[in-house]
Amino acid sequence: MASKISYPKRFLAPIASFLTEQLHRLENRKKEISKEDPFEDSQRPTDNAAVDSEAAEQFGHARISAIKSELERRIIQTRKALTRVKIGQYGICESCTDLIDTDRLMVYPEATLCLKCKRRREK
């Protein structure tokens, strides 16, 4: 069901700029963090390393993988928000089609659900 209401373009323009900048920052951070992965080091010895060295590498790889997963999730959310801006659906709840409160959008600009629907989904 399409909503008849939407936020005015003057409200959406700075949000689109912010989201675009955020997307670039997230993508750059993902590239940077990938370089910190011990498994990506071409100088990394692949023979039987000491247990403590291997454990440190495993921990480092797991840490980097978790950070990259979170960055990928945020990149997807940001791209989705930018798409919603372009099609005129930004700030409209995907579930109930009411406007998402501007306070919520200020804190979490990638929000696609109003607070009421978000709480309902979390139960």
Tokens encoding 110: 């990638």
* CB-based contacts of 118, cutoff 8 Å, min separation 6: 111
pLDDT digits (tens, 9 = 90+) for 49-74: 555 667 777 888 889 999 999 999 99
Tokens encoding 32: 């940077």
- Determine how many CB atoms are found less than 10 A away from the CB of residue 101: 15
Domain positions in the chain: 9-91
pLDDT per residue rounded down to tens, the chain (123 residues): 454 677 788 888 999 999 999 999 999 999 999 888 877 765 655 555 555 667 777 888 889 999 999 999 999 999 999 999 999 899 999 999 999 998 999 899 999 999 999 999 998
Tokens encoding 20: 């675009």
